[in-house]
A and B are shown apart, each in its own frame.
Chain A
Amino acid sequence: MATLREIRRRIASIKNIAQVTGAMRVVAAARLRRAQENILATRPFAEKFNTILGHLIAQIENPSHPLLEERELHHVCLISVSADRGLCGSFNSNVIRATTQRAQHYQDQGADVMIVCVGRRTRDYFARRDYNVIAEYVNIFRQLEFQTAVDIVGEFEHLYTDKRIDKVEVIYNNFKSAILQTILVEQLLPLTPEVPTGDEFFLDYLYEPRQEAIFELVLAKHLNMQMWKVLLDSNAAEQAARMAAMENATRNANDLIDQLILERNRARQTQITTEISEIVSGAAALEG
């Protein structure tokens, strides 16, 4: 059985841990709030953007564009979005697992798989293994900027229009709510034109330059918006996952402390009992 001093030392160290995890929970909660605000801040922009896209699509008889073109699968690009840090439960491992499964799925079909790693965790995993990592983005979540989404899209967009890849999918944690995050696999390219339905009552615009050129540029921007949404969502999901993980850790630490306190009291009691019985038996020996 552990000595009294050992137990006391363990209690002290676990208390420290509980304090740290408790603080991390508070930080994650604050970051989660900010992440949710970011999502809300984007909404009016996204709505306006979709209206414009809707107007545009309504005017185009037969939308055709390199980014809409479906091709036979020879090369597939997967964008794997994780966090930069750990200590957030199964957040990162879920993404990694889903990505490897997806990669396997395409390899079984005879396609060649390339990976774009977003977040340090997926980078660390895929870079060390036998995967073709074509780009990596680490340390971007601290200060999320729209430009990062544009840059990530820049990695694969030209490969797609050059026909060097035939499909692009993004794998990330979707932020459903503070307690629920689910892994989503979304197809980015070819673009699925489930884009907003056109507004029939809308009269045509004047375009400059030509309508097709504008359509092309707007579609490219649409892709940036998709990527931006993924980044915002993953970031919120990460903070929520970390908050939950840290809450669990703090609770477990407190349970452990309670247990150890019981054990400590028992050890102290045994010690006192032993001491008393020693004194009593010593006194008895003197009298006798």
Chain B
Amino acid sequence: MLEKRFHVEIRTPQRLIYEGEVLSVRAPGILSSFEILAGHIPFLTVFDIGEIRIRESDTPQSIATSGGVFEVLRTGVTVLADTAEWTYELDVERAEAARQRAIERLASRDSEIDQMRAEAALARAANRIKIASQ
């Protein structure tokens, strides 16, 4: 049987990451990771740092993201991410440097906000490294 496809658009404020017809799309929802197939009812959610995975064919493609808004309409899916990079775009060295910086900051500063921010930066860097090494 022919699998049903639907339209997906993935954007960041800076560029269009992907637009096309897919079989499924998976996103790291804030409660848990979820996957959308064709014919899903209208749905709005927010996702977190993690991996967006789209399936155009049998092999899925991965995108590293730091969170955003996910909307499903009858006409298709719109993903508005704060940041998003394809696996092949990921700069592991830069992510590694960011990770080191975040670790240092976590160790040195004491203000709560700086701590929170360093933790977030660390999570983003770790996510990039993880997805790049898959």
Which residues of A are in contact with B by a Cβ distance under 8 Å? 38, 41-42, 44-46, 48-49, 52, 55-56, 145-147, 150-151, 154, 158, 203-209, 214, 217-218, 221, 224-225, 228
Any A CB within 8 A of the CB of B46: yes
Is the Cβ of B69 less than 8 Å from the Cβ of A147? Answer: no
Which residues of B are in contact with A by a Cβ distance under 8 Å? 9, 11-16, 29-31, 34, 41-46, 66, 68-69, 71-72, 78, 80, 82-83, 113, 117
Q: A228 to chain B: which residues have CB within 8 Å?
A: 13
Q: B11 to chain A: which residues have CB within 8 Å?
A: 44-45, 48
Question: Roughly how many angstroms separate A241 CA and B5 CA in the complex, as a whole number?
Answer: 49
Given contacts A42-B13, A209-B31, contact A146 B83 (CB under 8 A): yes
Is the Cβ of A44 less than 8 Å from the Cβ of B16? Answer: yes
Is the Cβ of A209 less than 8 Å from the Cβ of B78? Answer: no
Which 9 residue pairs are nearest across A and B when measured between Cβ atoms?
A205-B44, A217-B46, A206-B43, A205-B42, A146-B13, A208-B45, A45-B11, A45-B13, A42-B13
Q: A150 to chain B: which residues have CB within 8 Å?
A: 82
* Sample of 6 more A-B contacts, CB < 8 Å, known A147-B82, A209-B31: A41-B13, A48-B9, A55-B44, A151-B117, A206-B42, A207-B45
CB distance from B91 to the nearest CB of A (A): 13
Question: Roughly how many angstroms separate A206 CA and B44 CA in the complex, as a whole number?
Answer: 6
Question: Roughly how many angstroms separate A154 CA and B71 CA in the complex, as a whole number?
Answer: 24
Is the Cβ of B78 less than 8 Å from the Cβ of A48? Answer: yes
Is the Cβ of B14 less than 8 Å from the Cβ of A41? Answer: yes
Is the Cβ of B31 less than 8 Å from the Cβ of A158? Answer: no
Q: List 21 A-B contacts (CB under 8 A).
A: A41-B14, A41-B15, A49-B69, A49-B80, A52-B78, A55-B44, A146-B14, A146-B83, A147-B82, A150-B82, A151-B117, A154-B117, A158-B113, A203-B42, A206-B41, A208-B44, A217-B46, A217-B69, A221-B69, A221-B82, A225-B13
